[in-house]
Structure 1
């Protein structure tokens, strides 16, 4: 593996670690508020958060194995994730579900692109990423079932969340 390929693989792992950190905080904010606005979703949100904690640990272990520090955007992912989770949690089940669907749609697209990129340059990083895809897809698919009849604000919310997620990933790959 070339130095440039190794650097790119580490950048991907760092950004994915920061993204999982952000996802944990999205669910933390949603869980805090969903006790009042969507109590029937609490079990699922806690399960999703546990998955994200496991994913973050996988990326952290791989970063540690490579003696690579975490991404500098991890704090922004956590703070932004909590705010996003808290605010969307205030709007209840449909907003919580729409947020998860939007985030996971972007994440899954990036994970598939990462797998294609890393397949020939970093087998270990590729395996770590491949190990989380099924659970991320589960989050997307299960959340889509809660969206029900889409309210007038679902599309704008998803566009906003998707755009913010893309911006965070783009920024993370460059800082």
Structure 2
């Protein structure tokens, strides 16, 4: 079933994005056991949050009788690839990837809340439930970044642009 309105499209894309995030962390956990073992417990906590977020959006989609986004599996596959590749380069690359994704996601979530206020209270409530966790992920990731490092300089613009593109495409599919 197609999304009936903007709120449903947003919820579908957010659900797919959370699936992508779960897979980023799953891949990073797998690879970081060898490249950056000290961050694995943090990544496991982040993954648990993202699984919870995915459930929040799925429950709201089911309540509305709406199917998941067409980009759901693509987000999962892309997330796993991104997580695997970046984790190969260690802690700085993992932290830079998470920070870049979370900055973009937080901007979109806050914009979505603003656009949907007074239009769809249930969608706003679902989105608002996850903002604090996403802010925490960003803050903790930034704490791991060391000034002047190579990977953050390279990965931040690439990952941010890729995340923006995936969200833009997801809304339009």
TM superposition shift of 1:75? 0.8
The match for 1:64 is 62
RMSD: 1.1
1:101-135 Cα shifts (integer Å, max 9, x gaps): 00000000000100000111100100110010000
Unaligned stretches of 5+ residues in structure 1: none
TM superposition shift of 1:148? 1.7
The match for 1:141 is 139
The match for 1:132 is 130
Contact 2:104 2:160 (C-alpha < 8 Å) held by counterparts: yes
Contact 2:98 2:141 (C-alpha < 8 Å) held by counterparts: yes
Contact 2:32 2:90 (C-alpha < 8 Å) held by counterparts: yes
Contact 1:9 1:125 (C-alpha < 8 Å) held by counterparts: yes
Size of the aligned set, in residue pairs, is 171
Aligned residue for 1:104, secondary structure, equals helix
Aligned residue for 1:148, secondary structure, equals coil
> In the aligned structure 1, how far is the partner of 2:171 from the partner of 2:4?
14
Alignment of 1:1-175 (within 5 A): 7-175=5-173
Regions of 4+ moved over 3 Å: none
> In the aligned structure 1, how far is the partner of 2:170 from the partner of 2:106?
17
Aligned residue for 1:145, secondary structure, equals helix
Unaligned stretches of 5+ residues in structure 2: none
TM superposition shift of 1:6? 5.5
1:43-89 Cα shifts (integer Å, max 9, x gaps): 00000000000000000000000000000001110000000000010
> In the aligned structure 2, how far is the partner of 1:43 from the partner of 1:14?
29
Contact 1:6 1:122 (C-alpha < 8 Å) held by counterparts: no
What's the TM-score once normalised by structure 1's chain length? 0.96
What's the TM-score once normalised by structure 2's chain length? 0.97
> In the aligned structure 2, how far is the partner of 1:125 from the partner of 1:12?
8
